[in-house]
């Protein structure tokens, strides 16, 4: 390795250490940090972020990128590290440092304000923070520039190479099939019995169950931990420290169980990235869509499958308080996969899930097209929920305030959730070609075989492979909603005798 490469890696390593510290502080702030710590924490995070920002646009970084770009002998990994560093450099040099620092400070305060507003179902309390966040993002787009549509700059942060033309086409195709299918299911004469799902299931027992299921999935507790939070998330500090959080509802165990499986899917991705990529700043998910494909694959195609519960239903009964003792497996499976319009995205079933995302995507796009302003969001939200799902929120806490993402200024993030489910369905069809005994592997709890396939084709690469390359190498094509449409149509036609 040349001196230029070693100096570049040393710079990336230092930046990565700032990232790890910030991730740890973010995890702590969402898992029980004292309320009165908010202001000092916000200032500390702002300072650390500013130091990281300064390194990303330093003269040393500029020199390293300029020199290494011209070196044809670099390894593929080093080339990708230079590409990512250059992308960050180009964006950050266009954003004034004082604006960046002010934005980070606002993010911390806005998230605390969102939590309070959500608890009070008071959009007006959060509105000024959201208006300021949107104004910052519009200013940043102005600094960075955009091609064709201002929203493209935001999408590029989460799903590089995917733009509004693709999303509009894919989401239009999904709406065309899903809205009538949801209506058919809603009007179906056959309905599952679900009352037994909502009996009291103590939090401590749910915690023990969640830990047991994570272990079954292959999550390594020597590299992570499980904590409780308001809005579940997984956070990768590095591949040897990937933490999962969940939310417990003692009268609906599914919130924690399926939420834990979902976040566990994220965590398996990060735990299985090649650790050699850490100091190249490439030991992270290649895009949020690919990341979501992993969490949704585990939650939907494994955790809600019949083969999984054929083996793990007795395990659930061990931890429960007798509520499933007189419920047979088929009745439980039907109830677990009940599909009906609901208000809360993170609790939505797989049939209606993408409609929640499309709603948010369309609102964000309208915001940055300046077709709608922040004050109009609650009204527009409620209109779209009525149009797509046929229901209405009773308050903003179960409507426009339900998600944490806007409080951190993460506009452009939501489409990744729907793309994740689309990718997951594509992966499932690809896996079946290599592992035709997929259902048998799940039924016998040989989940490590499936996990090995995912590690080999997705996880190990981190950001070395771009999202479009991962999908192309696995499927031979690009984004295709048809596998998901086929899966949902087949599953729910059978479940509801349509």
Residues recognised as catalytic: 263
291 touches 285 (CB < 8 A): yes
- Identify each DSSP E strand in 105-259 by its residue range: 226-228, 234-238, 241-246
Distance, in Å, from the CA atom of 168 to the CA atom of 151, rounded to the nearest integer, reads 12
212 within 8 A of 366, measured Cβ to Cβ = no
Q: What gap in Å lies between CA 405 and CA 401, rounded to an integer?
A: 10
**Contacts of residue 65, Cβ cutoff 8 Å, sequence gap at least 6:** 82, 85, 86, 89
Provide the total of helices (H) and of strands (E) in the chain, helices listed first: 20, 3
Please state, in angstroms and as integers, the Cα–Cα distance from residue 418 to each residue in 150, 211, 291, 475, following that order: 21, 27, 11, 18
Q: Find out whether 168 and 345 touch, Cβ atoms under 8 Å.
A: no
CB distance 412 to 158 below 8 Å: yes
Taking the mean position of all CA atoms in its chain, how far away is CA 327?
33
| Distance from C-alpha of 220 to C-alpha of 55, rounded to nearest angstrom | 33
| Residue 75 CB neighbours (<10 A) | 11
The rounded distance, in Å, linking the Cα atoms of 226 and 160 is 30
Bridge partner residues of 235 (DSSP): 243
The dihedral region occupied by 398, where left means phi > 0, alpha psi between -120 and 50, and beta the remainder, is: alpha
Query: What DSSP element (H or E) covers 487?
Result: helix 482-495
The residues near 45 (Cβ < 8 Å, ≥ 6 apart) are 22, 25, 26, 104, 108
> Is beta strand 234-238 parallel, antiparallel or unpaired with respect to 241-246?
antiparallel
């Amino acid at each position: 390795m040349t001196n230029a490469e070693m100096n570049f890696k040393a710079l990336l390593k230092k930046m990565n250490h700032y990232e790890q510290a910030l991730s740890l502080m973010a995890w702590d702030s969402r898992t029980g940090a004292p309320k009165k710590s908010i202001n000092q924490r916000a200032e500390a995070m702002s300072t650390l972020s500013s130091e990281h920002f300064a390194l990303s646009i330093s003269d040393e970084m500029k020199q390293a990128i300029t020199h290494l770009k011209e070196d044809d002998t670099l390894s593929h990994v080093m080339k990708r590290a230079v590409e990512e560093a250059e992308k960050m450099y180009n964006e950050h040099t266009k954003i004034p440092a004082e604006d960046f620092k002010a934005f980070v400070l606002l993010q911390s305060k806005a998230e605390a304000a969102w939590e309070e507003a959500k608890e009070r179902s008071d959009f007006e309390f959060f509105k000024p923070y959201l208006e300021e966040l949107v104004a910052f993002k519009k200013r940043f787009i102005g600094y960075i520039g955009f091609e064709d549509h201002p929203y493209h700059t935001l999408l590029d942060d989460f799903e590089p190479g995917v733009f509004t033309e693709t999303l509009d086409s894919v989401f239009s195709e999904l709406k065309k099939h899903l809205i009538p299918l949801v209506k058919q299911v809603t009007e179906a004469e056959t309905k599952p019995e679900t009352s037994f799902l909502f009996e009291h299931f103590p939090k401590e027992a749910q915690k023990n169950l969640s830990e047991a299921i994570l272990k079954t999935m292959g999550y390594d507790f020597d590299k992570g931990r499980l904590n409780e939070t308001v809005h579940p998330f997984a956070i990768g500090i590095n591949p040897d420290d990937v933490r999962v959080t969940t939310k417990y509802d003692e009268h609906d165990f599914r919130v924690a169980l399926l939420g834990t499986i979902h976040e566990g899917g994220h965590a398996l991705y990060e735990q299985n990235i090649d650790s050699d990529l850490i100091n190249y700043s490439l030991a992270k998910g290649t895009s949020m869509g690919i990341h979501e494909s992993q969490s949704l694959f585990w939650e939907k195609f494994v955790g809600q499958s019949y083969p999984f519960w054929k083996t793990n239903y007795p395990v659930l009964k061990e931890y429960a308080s007798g509520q499933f003792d007189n419920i047979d497996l088929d009745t439980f499976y039907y109830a677990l996969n009940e599909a009906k319009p609901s208000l809360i995205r993170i609790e939505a079933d797989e049939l209606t899930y993408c409609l929640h995302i499309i709603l948010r995507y369309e609102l964000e796009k309208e915001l940055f097209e300046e077709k709608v302003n922040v004050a109009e969001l609650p009204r527009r939200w409620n209109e779209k929920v009525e149009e797509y799902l046929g229901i209405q929120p009773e308050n903003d806490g179960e409507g426009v305030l339900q998600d944490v993402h806007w409080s951190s200024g993460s506009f452009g993030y939501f489409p990744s959730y729907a793309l994740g489910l689309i990718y997951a369905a594509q992966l499932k069809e690809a896996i079946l070609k290599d592992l035709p005994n997929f259902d048998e592997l799940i039924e016998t709890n040989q989940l490590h075989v499936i996990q090995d396939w995912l590690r080999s084709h997705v996880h190990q690469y981190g950001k070395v492979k771009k999202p479009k390359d991962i999908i192309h190498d696995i499927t031979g094509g690009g984004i295709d909603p048809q596998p998901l449409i086929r899966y949902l149509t087949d599953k729910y036609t059978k479940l509801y005798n349509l």
